[in-house]
Amino acid sequence: MIEFQHVSVTYPNGVTALSDVNLSVRKGEFVFLVGPSGQGKSTALKLIYREVRPTCGRILVEGHDISHLSGRGVAHLRRRIGVVFQDFRLLEYKTVRENLKFAMQVVDTPPSIITRRVNDLLEHVGLIERRNAFPQQLSGGEQQRLCIARALINHPPILLADEPTGNLDPETSWEIVRLLEAINLKGTTVVMATHHREIVDQLSRRVVYFCDSRVVGDEQGGGYYPSTDCECEGSVETEMSAFDEGAALFRA
Amino acid sequence: MFSRIEFILTETFISLRRHPAMAMAAVFCVAAALFVSGIVGLTLLNAHHLVKKTMERVSFVVFFNTDATRHETWKAYKDIRELDGITGSHFVAKEKAWDRFKKENPQLAEDVGHNPLPDSIELKAADVKAIPELKSIIKERWPDVISEVRSDEKVTGFLSDTRMVIGRIGPLLGILLAVVSLIIIHHTIELTLYARRKEIFIMSMVGATPGAIASPFVLEGITYGLIGGGVALGTLAVMYDGFAGWLKGEVGASVMNDPVMLQHGALAILVAGVALGFIGSMVSATKYLYRPRSKVTNA
């Protein structure tokens, strides 16, 4: 479904975001990308939805090399991929329903389908009662659920989530992860970059470990920390301790 | 299709409503540029109109020798009027010229006593610029019977030069103003694009093509151009009408009033407004949408 073949990314300032990454994600998988900040998780996701182009190597999505797509080609690729962000990126002046309608209109969905699809998605993410509310009237979890609904408007076979629980309390984070699990159960491939140790440990899914811009581990049913040792400049332990301390305080 | 149209119209309206000051600034600038262009255009049209009317009246006169016989002058007249470039001719017999002179200057005519005037011909040329050449031809061919060929070359030269100067300065000024309008619209749309970068990002993430993303912004630019053109046109119409009335009342002269020409001019202003809006916004949208977002070095 998604394949990285010797992919490297170097930014003009000389920073290497990814170095010779090989990765393969099969259809219907739920994959966590973990590792300290700045080690290439987000860049890996950006490469899949073609926000960034590889410096070298190839990326295949559904069997197509996406490295050299035109503007129109990128647009069509993105209709096959839903993206969820940590900061939601919702339009504040539009209601819940209008946020979804906007995203469907721009890809020229017929009005009759828009109404039906918007209602189905809102039902699916549990926001049907809140359809006329504005984003600022929603809780963080509700905003993220709306963001997920928007990512699903085109029935994408792939859903990418870049730290979707990063701005949420632990309880709401679990709500979102459960929703992503439900979406994955329906056959959508989910790739999620996260710093949330508890979720990764408990879900026991495939985990890809990023460190020093490389993939240093790939375990099926793995936990937040790789079972094999790896030396990393930015410590995973340090990155996570702050979050987990916060989570523990919240629970207390 | 209807979904896309509704989307484009809604987003354009939202943009206009959310940035009224910017929208007004853009409309004002387009209107100002097109108004000045319109003034230049109208001045040019009226100058052409005046030059054409004046040139229609410009003629030159051939005076025969006083001792030439009527037979000789009449024969020369018949040959001269057949020359290439002569569009009108009128033979003035010396008796008729003397009668006219006596009517206009009775005292002087009485003092002179006898008719000193020769036969003459009043001629009109197809092209004012050809008059000097026609004068030389006539003088060379009939040296024995013709004493003088007279024309007001200063007037014809001045009119011809004036038309040429206006014809050259007008379009240059128009182009300059069009460039200024383009820059202003371009920056206005660029600011709008920046202010709406979140919407653009979402559009791009859900798979909107660059054309679909650009369309509301291009329509916004066209709207600015059209409204600006309309404002300029309205102002010009009111001012031109007022000026025509004043000129007729005070000076008794008339302005160029060809309805077809004026309608074409009005249409040109609106088309120019739309074109300025379209080009300015297209440049901004293309620049914004195709700018390198994540610069990655190539291997």
List CB contacts (< 8 A) between A93 and chain B. Answer: 14
Pairing of strands A206-211, A56-61: unpaired
Give the least confident one: A199-203, A216-220, B184-188, B260-264.
B184-188
Residue of A nearest to B198 (CA): A89
Percent of chain A surpassing pLDDT 90: 48
DSSP string, A85-136: ETT----TTS-HHHHHHHHHHTTT--HHHHHHHHHHHHHHTT-GGGTTS-GG
pLDDT score at B7: 78
Q: Do B202 and A102 touch (CB under 8 A)?
A: yes
Percent of chain B surpassing pLDDT 90: 13
Q: Tell me how many degrees the CA angle A91-A50-A111 measures, rounded to the nearest 5.
A: 45
pLDDT score at B59: 78
A28: left (phi over 0), alpha (psi -120 to 50) or beta: left
Query: Cα dihedral angle (A60, A63, A67, A71), rounded to 10 degrees?
Result: -130
- Residue A148: is its pLDDT beyond 80? yes
pLDDT score at A109: 84
Kindly list the domain boundaries of chain B, sorted by start residue. 2-54+158-289, 59-151
In a 13 Å sphere around the CA of B259, the CA atoms on its Cβ side amount to: 0
Query: Between A238 and A16, whose confidence is greater?
Result: A16
Is the Cβ of A26 closer than 8 Å to some Cβ of chain B?
no
Q: Do A108 and B299 touch (CB under 8 A)?
A: no
Is the Cβ of A106 closer than 8 Å to some Cβ of chain B?
yes
Kindly report, residue by residue over A8-52, the tens digit of the pLDDT: 999 888 888 899 999 999 999 999 999 888 888 999 999 999 988
List CB contacts (< 8 A) between B3 and chain A. Answer: 104-105, 108-111, 114
Cα separation of B212 and B207, whole Å? 10
- Residue A132: is its pLDDT beyond 90? yes
Pairing of strands A30-34, A189-193: parallel
pLDDT score at A133: 94
Average pLDDT over every residue of B91-117:
88
Q: Do A106 and B298 touch (CB under 8 A)?
A: no
Which CATH number applies to B59-151: 1.10.10.10, 3.40.30.10, 3.90.25.10, 3.30.70.3040?
3.30.70.3040
Tokens of B226: 């059209």
Kindly report, residue by residue over B8-47, the tens digit of the pLDDT: 888 777 777 777 887 888 888 888 888 888 887 888 788 7
List CB contacts (< 8 A) between B291 and chain A. Answer: none
Cα separation of A195 and A46, whole Å? 17
pLDDT score at B62: 92
Kindly list the domain boundaries of chain A, sorted by start residue. 1-80+199-252
- Residue A243: is its pLDDT beyond 70? no
Helix (H, G, I), strand (E, B) or coil at A139: coil
Q: Do A110 and B208 touch (CB under 8 A)?
A: no
CATH match of A1-80+199-252 with 3.30.70.2610: no
Contact A44, A33 (CB under 8 A): yes
Neighbours of A102 (CB within 10 A): 21
List beta partners, residue A58.
A5
